[in-house]
Amino acid sequence: MTLFHAPEPTDAGDNLVRVSSEALIALRGAGEKLSLKTLRIKAQQSGGYLSRFKGRGMEFDEARLYQPGDDVRNVDWRVTARSGTLHTKLFREERERAVLAWVDMRPTMFFATRGAFKSVIAARAAALIAWSANRQGDRLGGLVFTADVHHELRPKRGKSAVLNLLRQLSQTSRWQSRYNETEPDADKALARLRRVAKPGSLIFLLSDFRKLGAQAESHLAQLARHNDVVLFHIYDPLEAELPRHGIYRVAWGERSSRFSGDDKTTQRQHREHFREHSAMLKQLCRFPGIHYLSCATDADLVATLQYGGRP
């Protein structure tokens, strides 16, 4: 019988089963090369097409006299009524936008059979996003949450905001035995994210999206009304496909389960379960503004963030 086991954290296991602040700081170079502004991703909506993020958005600059060819939708009726002459609104690109990282550190994230724990991949992805946002002059914030604690980070600009996030990621990437006592859904964390997010934000949700909660779809739809929302689905290859032969035991924390790779019914049910889970996430992209990316624990994380990916 082969055992897949989540090893106890040791110094040798650093950055595989947990991640240090130093390792996240070391991702600065790679993160600064990552362009969130031009990131192209596979959007699972309207038949599936490549789309760009909305960008920083536009803010009102001034009103001027209407000129032939101006978009009638931009007519400033208030100024027009006051002056008696037709005026149109001019807009300019916002100087900055808030980039938010919603990072799931609940028990199911502390698992992998290849590469690093899902929790570590989430932390690395958040660090890359943070360094990219910092280089672009955007404000950085978000929410890092475990089975029982939520760390809320209000959007701020500068290196100190990045380091604060990295510190929280490192601390929460360490498994705590009390996590075995509860498996909360994500409703509360999504509700708190809605309070942090302001219109025009770019929001990355980094999770395996297990136990989302009854109100998750409603929360996501509300977030997507005025923001770009990326569902960054982190999964272990074993979750997508079981080994073909042998008896296996999978253990995480104090829990374990056994399965047979020779059982074709088990194989089929396992694949279907993963496909249904992925399909449910992609279905959320029917809401304009929600996008889907996926990344295996042994995949090239930087390439996935920059060019997109799917299981």
Work out the number of other CB atoms within 10 angstroms of the CB of residue 281: 20
What are 53's two structure tokens? 């993020």
Task: Characterise 7 by phi-psi region: left (phi > 0), alpha (psi -120 to 50), beta (else).
Answer: beta
Band (pLDDT 50/70/90 cuts) for residue 9 is: very low
Counting runs of H as helices and runs of E as strands, what totals does the chain give?
A: 10, 13
Domains of the chain: 2-54+95-307 (3.40.50.410), 61-93 (no CATH)
Q: What is the DSSP string of 22-57?
A: HHHHTTHHHHHH--SSS-EEEE-STT-EEEE--TT-
pLDDT reported for residue 177? 67
Band (pLDDT 50/70/90 cuts) for residue 181 is: low
Residue 58: pLDDT above 70? no
Q: Whole-model pTM? A: 0.79
Strand pairing category for 58-65 and 87-93: antiparallel
**pLDDT for 91-140, tens place per residue?**
655 557 899 999 999 999 999 999 999 999 999 999 999 999 999 899 99
